[in-house]
Amino acid sequence: MARDVSDATPIESRDELVAWIAEGEKPKSAWRIGTEHEKVPFYRHDLSPVPFAGEAGIEAILAGLQRETGWEPIEDRGALIGLFEGDGGGAVSLEPGGQFELSGALLTDVHETRAELDEHLAALARVAEPLGVSFLDLGMSPLWRREETPIMPKSRYEIMMGYMPKVGGLGLDMMLRTSTVQVNLDFSSEADMVTKLRVSLALQPIATALFANSPFTDGKPNGFLSMRSQIWTDTDPDRTGMMPCAFEDGFGYERYVDWALDVPMYFVKRGGTYHDVAGASFRDLLAGRLPQLPGERATRSDWANHVSTVFPEVRLKRFLEMRGSDAGPRGFLLAAPAFWVGLLYDQVSLEAAWDLVKSWTAEDRQALRDAVPRLGLDVRIAGRSAAEVAREALRISRAGLTRRAVTDGLGRDETLYLDPLEQVAETGRPRARDLLDRYRGAWNGSVLPAFRECVLLDPALA
């Protein structure tokens, strides 16, 4: 999340929490696409991680990017930790290990997403290249140990890092060493939200398999195609997973609010201060009886910040966030919004996608989620191969994008962005498998060549 929300309007009841989510409803004409992606910076001269401070550190890159873009600074205790463009615009933020994140603006189509991504990569290259810094296009840093990874000076991360080891074995790895691409999409009504949430939750492991791109940890193969996805299975069971309640009869805004209320809090922000309340109940804050802050009552910003710290495979706020994919090369960063827009923003495709997954049981969905990080498309779900399901999902998405018929200046519609995923689905080989082959072959058992071959470039130089 680029910025914590600031809205001191008091919240008095659970119904107001439900209404806050419902306020996200938009007519189809107002639906937008938000794409977020993270990338791991490194120094080219010695392949070391980039610390926050210093003439060629993360803060210096942010300052240079601010000069390039004119965006406004985001600060935490005097440190420059991000930038933002303005209402509805993009933002740049830092993940705990220095992963650079672009949180894209609210755009109308994937062609605009392409332009935004290319502009960002070009500006970042103009700043980072002279400093000797490049960025990996992998879903996890492949070389450095957790203790070698720098930690960014963000108050909320200090609180989260203190709490993570209490609830899971790999939460710090998630924070410090992984990178993802996420897609944020709108809904028009509660019923529309429920259908989109169910479809995208069921198919999220299929996306994980298609985008699998994190096969190395600590300088060697880790035994998984998407170690990033596997890490989430041992991060915090209270706030992660496939959210089976979403498929229960009667699910809607209220049931989701109840689920989120049962997720322990991390912090309460007042002014510029983050109060550590990790493990506390939002219900207590709502009632004014939070032990750490006696008498303090919940505000709209407290709720917005709290729901940004729950991490199911698809997250509901005032929009839906697709969270299952490893970051990757430029083509995959554009394939992510294309895939989900084609499935969810066309009614015929949405109904077809629901038909594809509606017979799956909770056990089917969980078994698929559990197996995909290691095996990718080489698993089965309800009697079908994951590769077959992926091809069918891509066919549905392509049809949806074709019906949208949004063209660029060359007359091409958004289906062109599906090409990388369709190649993976046809061959059954996500990028992780190709990288493992190179590790065992041309790379001679070393991950160091990844720092030459797995780098996000200025599109003009790619």
Instruction: Dump the DSSP string for 252-295.
Output: SHHHHHHHHHTSPP-EEEETTEEEE-TT--HHHHHTT--TTSTT
Q: What is the mean pLDDT of residues 117-139?
A: 97
pLDDT value of position 87 = 79
Tokens 């394939």 belong to residue: 335
Residue 147 belongs to a domain: yes
Q: What's the whole-number mean pLDDT along residues 187-203?
A: 98
Q: Mean of the pLDDT values across residues 238-247?
A: 98
Give the model's pLDDT for residue 457.
Answer: 86
pLDDT at 328 over 90: yes
pLDDT at 239 over 90: yes
In a domain, 3, yes or no: no
Q: Please state, in angstroms and rounded to a whole number, the distance separating the CA atoms of residues 376 and 386.
A: 8
Distance CA 349, CA 400 (A): 5
Residue 95: predicted pLDDT? 97
Q: For Cα atoms 151, 143, 131, give the angle at the middle one, nearest 5 degrees.
A: 60
The whole-number average pLDDT for the span 10-17 is: 95
How far apart are alpha carbons 65 and 100 in whole angstroms?
Answer: 12
pLDDT tens, position by position, 151-181:
999 999 999 999 999 999 999 999 999 999 9
Q: Residue 326 — very low, low, confident or very high, per pLDDT cuts 50/70/90? A: very high
Count Cβ atoms within 10 A of the Cβ of residue 440 and give its class: 0-12 exposed, 13-18 middle, 19 or more buried.
Answer: exposed
**pLDDT class of 7 with cuts at 50, 70, 90:** confident
Is the per-residue pLDDT at 429 higher than 80?
Answer: yes
Asked whether residue 391 is domain-assigned, the answer is yes
Q: How much is the pTM?
A: 0.97
- Here the CATH number for the domain that contains residue 189 is 3.30.590.20
pLDDT at residue 2 tops 60: no
What is the mean pLDDT of the segment spanning 311-317?
Answer: 98
Contact 182, 36 (CB under 8 A): yes
Q: Centre a 10 Å sphere on the Cβ of residue 229 and count the other Cβ atoms it contains.
A: 30
Position 233, amino acid:
T
Total domain count, the chain: 1
Average pLDDT over residues 263-286: 95
> Mean pLDDT throughout 91-114?
98
User: Is residue 159 assigned to a domain?
Assistant: yes
Mean pLDDT taken over the chain: 96
Check residue 5 and give its pLDDT. 60
Domain assignment present for 209: yes
Say whether pLDDT at 462 is over 90: no
Over 80: is that where the pLDDT of 91 sits?
A: yes
What residues make up the domain containing 446? 14-455
Decide: 38 and 179 in contact? Cβ < 8 Å.
Answer: yes
**Percent of the chain, pLDDT > 70?**
98
* Percent share of the chain, pLDDT over 90: 95
Q: What is the mean pLDDT of residues 343-372?
A: 98
Task: Provide mean pLDDT across the span 409-429.
Answer: 98
* pLDDT tens per residue across span 17-31: 999 999 999 999 999
* The pLDDT of residue 268: 97
Check: CB of residue 56 under 8 Å from CB of residue 43.
yes
Q: Is the pLDDT of residue 196 over 50?
A: yes
Per-residue pLDDT band for 86 (boundaries 50, 70, 90) equals: confident
Q: Is 50 exceeded by the pLDDT of residue 1?
A: no
pLDDT category at 4 given cuts 50, 70, 90 is: low
In a domain, 6, yes or no: no
